[in-house]
Amino acid sequence: MSFFLGNTSQYSNSIVDETKIQLAKIQHEAMSLTFNSMLDTCKEKCIAHEYGESDLNTGEMCCVDRCVAKYVKANLEVGTALQSKGFTPEGIVATV
């Protein structure tokens, strides 16, 4: 018996859907790439290379907030456009 999951025998008989696992892997990789790209771009754009203080100043915080908001909005718009063109997660898995 697992301390966190309780009785794990109920999970040992369940069927694993490989498509869902593949979709989760693709989604994780896409989110990681988006986050790392956003982090690098916003850091380069908004944070000075010379660190005078350990905390961000007000201008840096506002810049980072706007930069992240633009990335999130662009990501949402691209996702919406792809869905309207007929791209589906199942179609992506089929091409991988």
**Residue ranges per domain, the chain?**
19-47+57-91
Q: What is the pLDDT of residue 1?
A: 46
**Amino acid letter at 73?**
K
Better pLDDT: 70 or 20: 70
Q: Three-state SS string across the chain, please? A: CECCCECCHHHHCCCCCHHHHHHHHHHHHHHHHHHHHHHHHHHHHHCCCCCCCCCCCHHHHHHHHHHHHHHHHHHHHHHHHHHHCCCCHHHHHHHC
How far apart CA 57 and CA 54 sit, in angstroms, is 9
pLDDT (tens digit per residue) in 46-94:
998 888 888 989 999 999 999 999 999 999 999 899 888 887 766 666 6
CATH 1.10.287.810 is held by the domain 19-47+57-91: yes
Q: What is the pLDDT of residue 21?
A: 87
Average pLDDT over residues 23-37: 91
Better pLDDT: 73 or 4: 73
